[in-house]
Structure 1
Amino acid sequence: MDIKSKHIRFDCTDAVTTDIASDLDKLLSKTNNIREAYKQNPLPLFTQLDKTDDLSAMQVLGETIRKDAQRIVVLGTGGSSLGAQVLVQINGWGTPASGMVQAAGPEMIFADNLDGQSFERLLDEAQLANTKFIVVSKSGGTAETMMQLSCVLTALEKAGLNAPAHVSGIAGSGSNTLRDVADRAGFPLLPHADGIGGRFAVLTNVGLLPALLMGVDLVSVREGAFEALTSFMEAPVDEIPAAIGAAMQIAHAGKNRNISVLMPYTDRLERLGFWYRQLWAESLGKDGQGTCPVNALGPVDQHSQVQLYLGGPDDKIYNLVTAKNQSLGPKALAAACDIPELSWLQGRHIGELVAAEATATYTALKENARPVRLIEMDDVTGHSVGYILMHFMLETIIAAGLMGIDAFDQPAVEQGKIIAKKLMAESSN
């Protein structure tokens, strides 16, 4: 199974092992019923892709945020942050060369984990005057995010700075805590799209507003996502990469391959692995079901994970992601390194070695009879990343349908939130 879209190739040939072939066919046939159900009742995730009215509101708020900003700090956790990180990484954020991105505009920081010492440093009074904060919470009451916001407002007040000039955000509609705080403090909020949960919200303002501020082409992102959606809605099921991927993953789970490894071979897709990890785990880990998503990065994790992948238990399916046309980077020509031991590197680009190592990992997995899927992008662009984001959301939604579970709730997460709030309330009495 080797399918090429406009900018991405999905090669599942070596992921369809003989022991899952019959199960795969049965599961694929079931995906057509899942697809027809969503044709009859499209998700808001699908219907918002061809909208443009929300883009103008983002652009207006973006101009306000950029004004006098040297730092932009995004307050949000999980789906309120990870998708945006994937999109801004298209232009180099979060890579070793991220300083070049910052030189062209404000520094962007995602405060997605709660840590007292780290956040105290972010609120250094000497930098507050040139810092803008974007607070994101669909529920309007996420504990970690509201704690951060409360500390930001406290720090701004202490520094004599006006909250509306430094804070803006995105919140769900209706009455919620974040909207109440914003009304009291006077800072603006954009509406979080109704009916789209946080981990599926990357193609809404949740992901697109930070991407806009980092110079990403938002229209291109949505066009790529729409291409993936069109394939899902119109192509035969055995030609839909997301349907094949979902059926393949569930079939392998039935053979006790309960770990799904996503391993990009480019720095600019490193955050994709973290976004995928939340999407797959939180959507499918229910009713005693689900498989464990693992994120890796090539080539670096060839030195920390591939020994296990090749020599350890056959309990994983591997998804390698490459970008064949990305910059090859510098060339090795130094006279001091012109020695026999390095003759195979002389005159070669870094990108050539990355490509060779990706091919080597793929080949080694195949030769060790480990199921491996290759996802080959032409390059890391707004269009290709938009496509791959929609692809994995569709793959997750289809997998949930095959498993007979709701992809869109997270009861175990909510249970933890309730316990944490109770503990805080009890300790304050």
Structure 2
Amino acid sequence: MLTLELTDQTGAVTQAEWQAAAAEAAPVLARAQAGEERYADSLGWLDPTLWGGQDWAGRAAALAQQLRGFADTFVVIGVGGSNNAARTVVEALDLPGGMRIVWAGNTLSPHAMNRMLAQLEGRSPVIDCIAKNFETLEPGASFRVLRRWLTDRYGKQEAARRILCTGTPGSSLEKLAKEQGYTFLPFPEPIGGRFTALSPVHLMPMAAAGADVAALCRGAEKMAAALRRQPADENPALQYAALRYLLWQKGYRAELLSCFEPRMKGLFKWWEQLFAESEGKDGRGLLPVTGEFSEQLHSLGQFIQDGTHILFETFLNVKEQQASLSLAPDGVEDGFGYLDDKDFEDLNRAAFAATRTAHSATLPCVTLTIDRVDEENLGGLFYFFQFACYLSAELLGVNPFDQPGVEAYKGWMFRALGKPGA
């Protein structure tokens, strides 16, 4: 089970203050556990069985098996909340036997687009255009390019067999799918993009890659069952949210999420979007930043130790390493004899412990520990962060589910491109 631990040699936050803050936030927890009516059109994720669960997991797995009968590559056309969760799972797990995943629709760079197309040469692809309202430029432009690519190679009928569309029922994307004979999957209307990790939006690409999506949904359901019944003094999501708000009140303005397991770096983009887009409003919010350790200890580590004290750190710790590699001596005197017969896990653990000790002398440090990196734990982690983000934004006094700032650049961009009505 996921656990939280505070390590703070600076004295900025005491355990008593933390517990008092959590107790004070108990009414916010109670409202969130019940599901607030004012957010009814955004809380489709709160019960992970509604748009995830074993039913949707089974559907995704069955469709993935069908696609593998004639295709070996699955192209995900999506940006931000439409691809980050799936990308987390694909990059975190070793998934033999699944389809190769290619990411598209997340850039407007011609160089990146041409590089993406080059990955499809010699492959047998299917594409999944993921767009809630099918107005976002990046996936729309990429879908046009990839539709033409498929039609040029396979003809219109076979290309249609290789195209999936994931959009809101009743949207222009569903209309297009019906007209052209594409397979259509639902983008749940009562869930905003950044909260869709446990819905068909991401279950389909995860299943195509070979992930056990049933286990992922099971982990989310277990986490939801716990977080929606635990009281304030036992609820890790509230404890995390209350600590974040307490540190905001004390003048901290950024949270660094760091991890000594490189395969978890895919989670960073998902986590950054979840908290930045949910909390960054009305001149408020903690800036979410991330650190890939131990690599960035040789760069970002300098700022953490001696730079402006604006951030606190959350370590994502994995209890079980699930791999082993021994440093056996080879008879060469290289100055590293003290490592003889140690395992890389020993080195990684020592680096983590030393870093936490050093950093906690400068800034408050939280350690969030999960048992292992697998589908069930990732499902639980997705739900934990989503629920904690809901609580954290509520404590901060902002709407967790809108994103007015994101729309500002889109208006200028659409006008520059001559979009009708922009």
- TM-score if structure 2 supplies the norm length? 0.90
Following the alignment from structure 1 to structure 2, what is the Cα–Cα distance between the partners of residues 275 and 142?
A: 18
The Cα of 1:210 is off from its aligned counterpart by 1.5
Aligned to 1:97: none
Alignment of 1:402-417 (within 5 A): 402-417=395-410
2:66 to 59, 64, 70: 64
- For the 8 Å contact 1:319–1:375, the answer to whether it is kept is yes
* Larger deviation, residues 132-141 vs 219-228: 219-228
Secondary structure of 2:402 counterpart: coil
Q: How many residues align?
A: 410
Gaps of 5+ in 1: 93-100
Amino acid at match of 1:172: T
Aligned to 1:158: 152
Secondary structure of 1:335 counterpart: coil
- For the 8 Å contact 2:75–2:102, the answer to whether it is kept is yes
The reply on whether 1:382 has 2:378 as its aligned counterpart is: no
- For the 8 Å contact 1:277–1:294, the answer to whether it is kept is yes
- For the 8 Å contact 2:10–2:362, the answer to whether it is kept is no
Following the alignment from structure 1 to structure 2, what is the Cα–Cα distance between the partners of residues 244 and 214?
A: 34
1:160 to 1:378, Cα distance in 2 relative to 1, 3 A: closer
The Cα of 1:289 is off from its aligned counterpart by 0.7
Identity %: 23
The Cα of 1:22 is off from its aligned counterpart by 7.1
Following the alignment from structure 2 to structure 1, what is the Cα–Cα distance between the partners of residues 294 and 217?
A: 29
The Cα of 1:19 is off from its aligned counterpart by 4.7
Aligned to 2:48: 48
The Cα of 1:295 is off from its aligned counterpart by 1.2
1:158 to 1:191, Cα distance in 2 relative to 1, 3 A: same
Aligned to 1:364: 358
- For the 8 Å contact 1:74–1:110, the answer to whether it is kept is yes
Cα offsets for 1:41-70 (capped at 9, x unmatched): 363212233743222321232123323323
2:314 to 295, 315, 319: 319
1:125 to 1:380, Cα distance in 2 relative to 1, 3 A: closer
Following the alignment from structure 1 to structure 2, what is the Cα–Cα distance between the partners of residues 129 and 323?
A: 35
The reply on whether 1:86 has 2:79 as its aligned counterpart is: no
Following the alignment from structure 1 to structure 2, what is the Cα–Cα distance between the partners of residues 15 and 52?
A: 45
1:125 to 1:203, Cα distance in 2 relative to 1, 3 A: closer
- For the 8 Å contact 1:365–1:372, the answer to whether it is kept is yes
The Cα of 1:395 is off from its aligned counterpart by 1.4
Aligned to 1:239: 234
Cα offsets for 1:340-372 (capped at 9, x unmatched): 611111111222211111111111112x24100
Cα offsets for 1:145-188 (capped at 9, x unmatched): 011001111222233433222211311122x2322322232111
Amino acid at match of 2:349: A
Alignment of 1:270-281 (within 5 A): 270-281=265-276
The Cα of 1:286 is off from its aligned counterpart by 0.5
The Cα of 1:128 is off from its aligned counterpart by 6.8
1:120 to 1:328, Cα distance in 2 relative to 1, 3 A: closer
- For the 8 Å contact 2:61–2:213, the answer to whether it is kept is no
Aligned to 2:100: 107
Cα offsets for 1:220-266 (capped at 9, x unmatched): 22222223222322222122111111111111112221110011111
Alignment of 1:146-295 (within 5 A): 146-161=140-155, 162-174=158-170, 176-295=171-290
Amino acid at match of 2:347: L
Aligned to 1:95: none
- For the 8 Å contact 2:129–2:165, the answer to whether it is kept is yes
Cα offsets for 1:372-405 (capped at 9, x unmatched): 0112222111121112111111111101111121
Cα offsets for 1:289-338 (capped at 9, x unmatched): 1110001111111112111111112211101112221234321124144x
1:39 to 1:327, Cα distance in 2 relative to 1, 3 A: closer
The Cα of 1:143 is off from its aligned counterpart by 1.4
Amino acid at match of 1:49: T
* Larger deviation, residues 224-233 vs 136-145: 224-233
Aligned to 2:130: 136
The reply on whether 1:348 has 2:342 as its aligned counterpart is: yes
Following the alignment from structure 2 to structure 1, what is the Cα–Cα distance between the partners of residues 186 and 388?
A: 27
- For the 8 Å contact 1:250–1:399, the answer to whether it is kept is yes
The Cα of 1:27 is off from its aligned counterpart by 3.6
Aligned to 2:301: 306
Secondary structure of 2:182 counterpart: coil
The reply on whether 1:392 has 2:394 as its aligned counterpart is: no
- For the 8 Å contact 1:74–1:136, the answer to whether it is kept is yes
Amino acid at match of 1:362: R
* Larger deviation, residues 187-196 vs 47-56: 47-56
Amino acid at match of 1:163: A
- For the 8 Å contact 1:146–1:178, the answer to whether it is kept is no
Following the alignment from structure 2 to structure 1, what is the Cα–Cα distance between the partners of residues 63 and 387?
A: 30
- For the 8 Å contact 1:71–1:106, the answer to whether it is kept is yes
1:41 to 1:301, Cα distance in 2 relative to 1, 3 A: same
- For the 8 Å contact 2:260–2:293, the answer to whether it is kept is yes
Secondary structure of 2:382 counterpart: helix
Amino acid at match of 2:242: A
Secondary structure of 1:263 counterpart: strand
The Cα of 1:215 is off from its aligned counterpart by 2.3
How large is the Cα RMSD of the aligned pairs?
2.4
Following the alignment from structure 2 to structure 1, what is the Cα–Cα distance between the partners of residues 138 and 398?
A: 28
Following the alignment from structure 1 to structure 2, what is the Cα–Cα distance between the partners of residues 185 and 129?
A: 23
- TM-score if structure 1 supplies the norm length? 0.89
Amino acid at match of 1:119: M
